[in-house]
Amino acid sequence: MGNQKPSIPKGTRDFGPEEMAKRNYIFNTIKDVYALYGFQQIETPAMETLHTLMGKYGEEGDKLLFKILNSGDWVTPLREQLNQPDLSVGKATTAVSEKGLRYDLTVPFARYVVQHRDQLQFPFRRFQIQPVWRADRPQKGRYREFYQCDVDVIGTNSLLCEVELMQIVEEVYRRFGIRVALHINNRKVLAGIAEVIGAPDKMIDITVAIDKLDKIGVDKVNDELRERGLSDDAVAALQPILNLSGSNADKLDQLSVILATSEIGMKGIAELRTIFDLYESASRCPHSESPSSEGEGNTALLRISDTKACGLSRTPQSGVRGGLSVSLDLCLARGLNYYTGAIFEVKALDVQMGSITGGGRYDNLTGIFGLPDVSGVGISFGADRIYDVLTELDLYPADMLLTTQLLFATFGDAELRYATTWAQSLRAQGLRVEVYPEPAKMKKQMAYADAKHIPFVAIVGGDEMAANKVMLKNMLTGEQKPCTTEEVLQALSKG
């Protein structure tokens, strides 16, 4: 057997030390903002039962689930199932697989809430940062394994929670220095639209199709709507609704007329008005400041965009800086069946990339697991896409990578023992210290320090040991001098 060529599955990636420093910067920034709002962290298993996962993500999502083969002999049960006259896809699937990798963090969270409800304090505010897996076609910004950074409030209907999530979006991207636009819609409005165009039973078909508008264009969306059973009259009636223009307030006013006969549609409009009003009130707080990209203070945390609601481009007005551009987007549907109220999507303004944050309200998700009438709302930051955006825009802090501050270079066993004692003492003072693990030529040890960008090297020889000192070399200037422990601490504290 020949040597196997090392490889990883398509849509996955390895991360070295520099990449991990960048990823941890992303995770820690998001965690810090979550903590400001009182959220607590949980984790759930990488795998869930297919009973938990299936049927929660719509027809498109179910196709993207990674299923795990049953352990042992799964061939015999499958053969037995194949001989059954009432064989279904579900039965055949169960014979082969009963578990799957999680598709997102929201459904496992709903399962967690129901399973542990007696130990939780409601409203329960949780965040979760873990990988998810989707059997998607890999492309730029789309991976088969990627991290989500979820934040949810469950156990309350208050629209203040939607507002806080929008504030979290604002603060996270302000800290990253990324200009973003937040698109918002409401599934009740979409249900109302389905009603007034005469296709109330086609809401899911409508949302699945129009959510692809940016990807495939209006003509193909209309073709798909017809393929899904909408009449030509219904498709025609939908067009002016999707192309409403003006400010968010203007669009809501126009929708109020169009959806006047739809109770659920009017409820969605009322929710959107409340969210906009609450957020604008919060933005007027005199103690709130958000630095603009030019470094100036900016008390307006919210910028309500007057851009077109839908079309081939969802780009908000140019020049929006130092605040969150928010636009009502009637094409936004988010192809997940469990959303029932407000839905959100965030895109970077300066990079061609898909959604980097998204979410919404779900009223019925825990009911599937036996706990009805528990409403929740949440959003998820796509850490991997944020990573790509920060990389493309070169926005990572220069001092982000915490490298070793001091390397001990030694030339024998006695020097190695001496250096180990010193190193442990310096680590106790909070310094990041390495000891080169084996005697080697000075050139090799210095090359190692250079390659790792270690700023100081402590050289240990017989003279230094006799004087209870080290020869400290500054790798940037080339200067070196004998130093005591205190002098080493002082030199490293200066940089």
For residue 197, give Cα distances in angstroms to 224, 258, 272: 16, 10, 21
Q: What is the CA radius of gyration of the chain?
A: 28
Three-class secondary structure of residue 459 per DSSP: strand
Is residue 248 a contact partner of residue 157, using CB atoms and an 8 Å limit?
no
Please state, as a whole number, how many other Cβ atoms lie within 10 Å of the Cβ of residue 422: 22
Q: Name which of 11, 6, 8 is nearest 145 in CA terms.
A: 11
Bridge partner list, 182: 326, 346
- Specify the pTM: 0.82
> Domain spanning 406-494: which superfamily?
Anticodon-binding domain (3.40.50.800)
pLDDT of residue 285: 60
Task: State both tokens at 246.
Answer: 């003006």
Is residue 266 a contact partner of residue 259, using CB atoms and an 8 Å limit?
yes
pLDDT of residue 320: 35
Q: Is 251 left (phi over 0), alpha (psi -120 to 50) or beta?
A: alpha
pLDDT of residue 69: 86
Task: State both tokens at 318.
Answer: 């140019």
Q: Name which of 273, 272, 242 is nearest 258 in CA terms.
A: 242
Q: Which regions of the chain carry the CATH code 3.40.50.800?
A: 406-494
Q: Which regions of the chain carry the CATH code 3.30.930.10?
A: 17-65+103-393
pLDDT of residue 75: 67
Task: State both tokens at 273.
Answer: 């008005």
What's 17-65+103-393's CATH class? alpha beta
Q: At residue 217, what is the residue type?
A: G
Q: Which residues contact 45 (CB under 8 A, 6 or more apart)?
A: 102, 108
pLDDT of residue 331: 85
Q: How many angstroms separate the CA atoms of 263 and 275, rounded?
A: 19
The rounded average pLDDT for each run of 10 residues, N- to C-terminus, in the chain (495 residues) is 85 92 96 98 97 83 89 68 56 75 93 96 97 90 90 97 97 96 96 94 88 85 93 92 88 95 97 95 64 37 39 33 78 80 95 92 88 93 93 91 92 95 96 95 96 96 96 96 97 85
**Could you say which DSSP state residue 45 is in?**
-
Please state, as a whole number, how many other Cβ atoms lie within 10 Å of the Cβ of residue 461: 16
Half-sphere exposure of 484 (CA within 13 A, CB side): 2
Task: State both tokens at 401.
Answer: 């990578």
